């Protein structure tokens, strides 16, 4: 839930605990030949489809910046560019995050 602060406040929006904004995109960072990535893809795809959130799958080795950041930590799930999980996908936690909770 988001609440507007009074006019003149420097902070603008106030995020109340317990509710998060529903993400607008899911990114799965993978690597070719990664068995954990192969297991994660159908789970993340199903949850993203159920939530109506588009999924982008990126190969960590295709971009030097991704490779430098994620290296051997794949699979990595990003929600709006922010790390949600790495190595394993917690289905319940991801489903909840995709609902904005």
**CATH code of the domain made up of 20-98:** 3.40.30.10
Task: Kindly compute the dihedral angle of the four CA atoms of residues 55, 51, 24, 42, in this order, to the nearest 10 degrees.
Answer: -20
Per-residue pLDDT of the chain (101 residues; tens, 9 = 90+): 444 444 554 444 444 455 568 899 999 999 999 999 999 999 999 999 999 999 999 999 999 999 999 988 999 999 999 999 999 999 999 999 999 87
Indicate the domain borders of the chain: 20-98
**pTM, 2 dp:** 0.78
């Amino acid at each position: 839930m988001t609440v507007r602060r009074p006019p003149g406040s420097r902070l603008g929006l106030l995020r109340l605990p317990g509710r998060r904004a529903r993400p607008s995109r899911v990114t799965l960072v993978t690597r070719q030949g990664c068995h954990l990535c192969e297991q994660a893809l159908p789970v993340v795809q199903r949850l993203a489809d159920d939530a109506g959130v588009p999924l982008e799958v990126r190969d960590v080795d295709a971009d030097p910046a991704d490779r430098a950041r994620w290296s051997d930590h794949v699979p990595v799930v990003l929600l709006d560019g922010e790390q949600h999980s790495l190595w394993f996908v917690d289905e319940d936690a991801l489903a909840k995050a995709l609902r904005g909770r």
